[in-house]
Amino acid sequence: MTWKTYLIAQALGVAAFNAVCNAGYTAYLWQAPVLPLETIGADLAMTPIWIGLLSVLLGTPFVRKALAGGRMMEEAGLRAPRLAKMLPRNLVLRAITAAALCAVLFSLPLALLMPALGDGLLTQADAIGGKVILTIAFSLILVPLVAYATIADMPATEATRA
């Protein structure tokens, strides 16, 4: 498997899993509201933060294990991206950093936009559909970035850092 195929497979698999989980969670909120219906938009806006946090916490160990041999990266001649070199190597700190970036870049604009779109008027189908669309979109953006950033931690890229 090439590194590009690996990133695509990871992104599609995680996006599908996240979509199912978020659809179920949103349906549950509608059956037994944990949040008032007026704050469903806030829940939608929090989606990128959770995806960023969980993609790092759950995804990074899988990527590190899959790429541990270094063969995939040597074949591709990949270099560690600059942004990845600036991220903390500690998994928890990396997850917090990713969640903070997602909050600023994605969640804050969504939180400001959702009330203007009438988030309190969402039906159950609208909320579930919106959550699934946001989940898939953000998963397809964030998961490959997290996986690609993990390349900076891999032994095969150590030689290319000089």
Q: What is the mean pLDDT of residues 118-130?
A: 72
Q: How confident is the model at residue 61 (pLDDT cuts 50, 70, 90)?
A: confident
Q: Quote the tokens at residue 81.
A: 């991206």
Q: What is the mean pLDDT of residues 32-54?
A: 70
Distance, in Å, from the CA atom of 124 to the CA atom of 14, rounded to the nearest integer, reads 24
Flag the least confident range among 38-47, 99-108, 131-140: 38-47
Helices (H), the chain: 3-31, 40-54, 60-66, 71-76, 82-86, 91-102, 108-116, 124-150
Flag the least confident range among 61-65, 99-103, 128-132, 157-161: 157-161
Half-sphere exposure of 127 (CA within 13 A, CB side): 26
Q: Which residue has the higher pLDDT, 32 or 126?
A: 126
